[in-house]
């Protein structure tokens, strides 16, 4: 049978189920990655499973999110992560070594393999030809223990690239175009495969930028072929031996083909407050800018940052603009330093930030009230920057750097600046001294647990009958940043009772308290939502903390993939309205009850919720595999796995 690249990788890793579109398959995971904000819980859960060591080919624990270290909490978590890595055979990437996705691409990604990461931008690895998927920490913990990862056999879309990018038009503009075409919702169960003659004109880091923001479309992953460009990149990283070629068979089938002529693209921006609101820079021209931030896992390559330096060289930033630059890996930072590029940045007036997530997650560098900020990262959800009313635009580093100089949105093609033609280096600077490889005898390592490290919360079995109370009714496109804010609250990731106080903090500050009262009274809490509930991050805290607050079901018009999986993993039933109009009949405070949901779900019948106030019967779809029903019944994946 003729196979596309995604089918090749998935069938080579298939261990359970049949490859029938939409049906659940279990695949073997070769590599995992975690980052600190999701990793502490993932490793606590790994420990709770009672395994002796990891069973993957490679697992890496990165520290890149919580590096601000105000108070003891972050540093305690880092120490815990370092000790747990040494104990179980995981590579530990120290704080300062860079953002997980950037470092993984540079030092570990291998074409043709599977990578599961507890971060939604794990698909960045698709740039080097991996089926790289983001998941909740618990799924990653299970994969580290040798368990399979379950996902629906996907629909595969081919994105056929022709032509070549013109000066000042970038990989970021390709993915912004894709967001314009596919939008941020309705793509659950889709994997993207890039192909066509335009691919060989894109470097691996450019491909990675494109694969990275597939997460914003809600696709499971985006995969590029592995060709001579890939080989050259891996050779320059001293890893030629890890290279294998990978291409689709001639005549391979796709569910949809999307054509993009790279030569016709223009510099673009995603506008407030969604990565799916796309405009051309020419339409925004002249708009004043207060802040510019360059970096993140989307745009942190050597070429991105060298180009930025070239634009800034010999120029001063506009006096009304604050420019922050965070090279995404220590490798890039070291190379910039040796090339004198950091000097050019400093001379221009830029503020050099740590090689970490930083501004992207609203950990620092928040803009002023109502400020306009141009950023090169991937998400601009309302409030994510740490400033509730800031206006965040997402662009390429080229557009961002030019705006830092002019003080306003400027079409870089008309800025009178010579296009910096930076080449990919033939050899990257190789220094893995911040990657701590597990040593022999590591199993004896004592695990450090500071006062910030709590136990992962436990859950009882799922009740047979629901005595539900609607605690909140929210609208469409609720992101995990709405459900479980990060930024200043990030440091409580390892302390669920504390972190749970902030669930829906910016939507309804009374939610957590009301839930705890209702839980104490013996009721089952319910969240009612519109379309695309749980967009964005993989943070399982957006399910784990609601579980702690006694939430037993979320009833929504539709769910995003990772969040739906996280809800199940934490024993919360994701129920989809059969008739979306029923959403309008429910109010906060309503009592929703149902009989034995399991019997209905097992027979593939709708679960019927009765609304005591209106007397209406609401049909909900609970389309779960037998494995998923068992997880839900057990009260979550941890209960289910430890029992097994």
Cite the active site residues.
64-65, 119, 379, 537, 539
Find the binder of ligand MIC among 74, 203, 537, 639 (CB under 6 A): 537
User: Interacting stretch for ligand SF4, rule CB under 6 A, among 144-152, 355-363, 388-396, 618-626?
Assistant: 355-363
| Residues 257, 258, 262: CA angle, nearest 5 degrees | 140
120 lies in the site for ligand MIC, by CB under 6 A: yes
Which entry of ligand SF4, ligand MIC, none binds 99, CB below 5 to 8 A by partner kind? ligand SF4
Gyration radius (Cα) of the chain, Å = 24
Which entry of ligand MIC, ligand SF4, none binds 529, CB below 5 to 8 A by partner kind? none
User: Interacting stretch for ligand SF4, rule CB under 6 A, among 80-88, 159-167, 356-364, 400-408?
Assistant: 356-364
CB of 394 to ligand MIC, least distance (A): 13
Which entry of ligand SF4, ligand MIC, none binds 37, CB below 5 to 8 A by partner kind? ligand MIC
| Residues 175, 176, 180: CA angle, nearest 5 degrees | 115
361 lies in the site for ligand SF4, by CB under 6 A: yes
Residue 369: other Cβ atoms inside 10 A = 10
Q: Which two tokens stand for residue 589?
A: 């405070």
- Cα–Cα distance between 174 and 259 in angstroms, integer? 11
C-alpha distances in Å from residue 254, one per residue of 130, 140, 258: 18, 29, 10
- Cα–Cα distance between 409 and 540 in angstroms, integer? 37
DSSP E strands, 226-365: 256-261, 268-270, 278-280, 291-295, 322-326, 351-352
State which residue, 150 or 359, has the beta carbon closest to ligand MIC: 359
Q: Residue 573, SS3?
A: strand
Ordered DSSP codes for 613-630: TT--EEEEE----HHHHH
Q: Which of 204, 283, 275, 285 is nearest to 237 (CA)?
A: 204
Q: Interaction with ligand SF4 in 367-396: which residues (CB under 6 A)?
A: 377-378
CB of 643 to ligand MIC, least distance (A): 28
- Cα–Cα distance between 576 and 559 in angstroms, integer? 8
- Cα–Cα distance between 164 and 170 in angstroms, integer? 10
296 lies in the site for ligand SF4, by CB under 6 A: yes
Give the distance, in angstroms, between the CA of residue 134 and the centroid of all CA atoms in the same chain.
6
Q: What backbone torsions phi and psi does residue 322 show, to the nearest 5 degrees?
A: -105, 120
Which entry of ligand MIC, ligand SF4, none binds 38, CB below 5 to 8 A by partner kind? ligand MIC
State which residue, 410 or 494, has the beta carbon closest to ligand SF4: 494
121 lies in the site for ligand SF4, by CB under 6 A: yes
State which residue, 203 or 366, has the beta carbon closest to ligand MIC: 366
User: Interacting stretch for ligand SF4, rule CB under 6 A, among 332-340, 354-362, 391-399, 420-428?
Assistant: 354-362
State which residue, 97 or 406, has the beta carbon closest to ligand MIC: 97
Angle of helix 171-182 relative to helix 204-212, nearest 10 degrees, comes to 30
Residue 210: other Cβ atoms inside 10 A = 30
Query: For the chain, first and last CA: distance in Å?
Result: 37
State which residue, 394 or 523, has the beta carbon closest to ligand MIC: 394
CB of 569 to ligand SF4, least distance (A): 20
Q: H/E element holding 265?
A: none
486 lies in the site for ligand MIC, by CB under 6 A: yes
Position of tokens 């009612």?
528
User: Interacting stretch for ligand MIC, rule CB under 6 A, among 48-56, 118-126, 324-332, 455-463?
Assistant: 118-126
Ordered DSSP codes for 296-316: TTTS-SHHHHHHHHHHHTT--
CB of 144 to ligand MIC, least distance (A): 17
Q: Which residues contact 166 (CB under 8 A, 6 or more apart)?
A: 263, 265
Count residues binding ligand MIC (CB under 6 A): 14
63 lies in the site for ligand SF4, by CB under 6 A: no
**Residues β-bridged to residue 117:** 33, 134
Q: Which two tokens stand for residue 437?
A: 């490889």
CB of 99 to ligand SF4, least distance (A): 5
Whether the CB-CB separation of 352 and 328 falls below 8 Å is answered with: no
CB of 137 to ligand MIC, least distance (A): 9
Which entry of ligand MIC, ligand SF4, none binds 335, CB below 5 to 8 A by partner kind? none
Whether the CB-CB separation of 394 and 269 falls below 8 Å is answered with: yes
38 lies in the site for ligand MIC, by CB under 6 A: yes
361 lies in the site for ligand MIC, by CB under 6 A: yes
121 lies in the site for ligand MIC, by CB under 6 A: yes
Side by side, the strands of the sheet bearing 155-162 are 221-223, 190-195, 155-162, 256-261
296 lies in the site for ligand MIC, by CB under 6 A: no
State which residue, 134 or 196, has the beta carbon closest to ligand SF4: 134
Which entry of ligand SF4, ligand MIC, none binds 539, CB below 5 to 8 A by partner kind? ligand MIC
State which residue, 215 or 311, has the beta carbon closest to ligand MIC: 215
CB of 211 to ligand SF4, least distance (A): 13
CB of 316 to ligand SF4, least distance (A): 28
In the complex, the residues that contact ligand SF4 under the rule CB under 6 A are: 65, 99, 119, 121, 296-297, 357, 360-361, 377-378
Interface with ligand MIC by CB under 6 A: which residues?
37-38, 65, 119-121, 134, 361, 379, 486, 536-539
């Amino acid at each position: 049978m003729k196979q596309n690249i995604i089918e090749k990788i998935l069938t080579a890793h298939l261990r359970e189920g049949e490859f029938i579109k939409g049906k659940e398959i279990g695949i073997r995971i070769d590599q995992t990655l975690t980052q600190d904000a999701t990793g502490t819980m993932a490793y606590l859960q790994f420990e709770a499973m009672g395994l002796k060591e990891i069973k993957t080919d490679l697992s890496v624990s990165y520290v890149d999110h919580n590096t601000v270290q105000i108070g003891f909490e972050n540093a305690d978590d880092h120490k815990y992560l370092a000790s747990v890595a040494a104990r179980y055979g995981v590579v530990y990437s120290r704080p300062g070594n860079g953002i997980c996705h950037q470092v993984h691409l540079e030092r570990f990604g291998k074409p043709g393999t599977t990578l599961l990461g507890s971060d939604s931008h794990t698909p960045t690895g698709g740039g080097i030809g991996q089926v790289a998927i983001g998941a909740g920490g618990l799924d990653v913990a299970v994969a580290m223990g040798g368990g399979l990862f379950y996902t629906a056999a996907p629909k595969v879309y081919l994105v056929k690239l022709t032509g070549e990018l013109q000066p000042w038009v970038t990989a970021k503009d390709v993915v912004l175009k894709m967001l314009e075409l596919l939008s941020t919702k309705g793509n659950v169960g889709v994997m993207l495969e890039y192909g066509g003659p335009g691919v060989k004109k894109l470097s691996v880091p450019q491909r990675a930028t494109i694969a990275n923001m597939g997460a914003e479309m809600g696709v499971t992953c985006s995969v590029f072929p592995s060709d001579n460009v890939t080989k050259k990149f891996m050779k320059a990283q001293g890893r030629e031996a890890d290279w294998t070629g990978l291409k689709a068979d001639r005549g391979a089938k796709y569910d949809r083909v999307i054509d993009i002529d790279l030569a016709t693209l223009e510099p673009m921006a995603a506008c407030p407050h969604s990565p799916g609101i796309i405009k051309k820079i020419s339409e925004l021209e002249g708009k004043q800018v207060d802040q510019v931030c360059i970096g993140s896992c989307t745009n942190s390559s050597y070429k991105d940052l060298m180009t930025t330096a070239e634009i800034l060289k010999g120029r001063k930033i506009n006096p009304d603009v604050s420019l922050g630059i965070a090279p995404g890996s220590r490798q890039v930072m070291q190379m910039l330093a040796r090339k004198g590029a950091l000097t050019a940045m400093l001379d221009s007036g830029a503020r050099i930030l740590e090689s970490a997530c930083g501004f992207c997650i609203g950990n620092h560098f928040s803009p002023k009230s109502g400020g306009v900020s141009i950023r090169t990262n991937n998400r601009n959800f309302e409030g994510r920057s740490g400033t509730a009313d800031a206006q965040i635009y997402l662009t390429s580093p080229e557009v961002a750097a030019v705006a830092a100089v002019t003080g306003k949105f400027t079409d870089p093609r008309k800025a009178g600046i010579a296009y910096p033609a930076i080449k990919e280096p033939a050899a990257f600077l190789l220094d893995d001294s911040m990657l701590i490889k597990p040593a022999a005898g590591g199993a004896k390592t004592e695990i450090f647990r500071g006062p910030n490290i709590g136990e992962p919360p436990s859950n009882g079995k799922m009740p047979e009958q629901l005595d539900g109370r609607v605690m909140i009714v929210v609208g469409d496109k609720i992101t995990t940043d709405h459900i479980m804010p990060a930024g200043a609250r990030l440091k409580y990731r390892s302390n669920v009772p504390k972190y749970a106080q902030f669930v829906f903090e910016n939507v309804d500050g009374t939610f957590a308290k009301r839930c705890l009262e209702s839980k104490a009274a013996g009721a089952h809490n319910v969240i009612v939502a519109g379309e695309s509930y749980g967009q964005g991050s993989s943070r399982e805290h957006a399910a784990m903390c609601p579980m702690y607050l006694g939430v037993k079901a979320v009833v929504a018009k539709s769910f995003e993939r990772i969040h739906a999986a996280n809800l199940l993993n934490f024993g919360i039933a994701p129920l989809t309205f059969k008739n979306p109009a029923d959403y309008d009949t429910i109010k906060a405070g309503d009592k929703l009850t149902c009989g034995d949901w399991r019997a209905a779900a097992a027979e593939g019948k709708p679960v019927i919720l009765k609304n005591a106030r209106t007397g209406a019967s609401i049909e909900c779809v609970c389309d779960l595999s037998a494995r998923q029903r068992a997880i839900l019944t057990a009260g979550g994946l941890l209960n289910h796995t430890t029992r097994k």
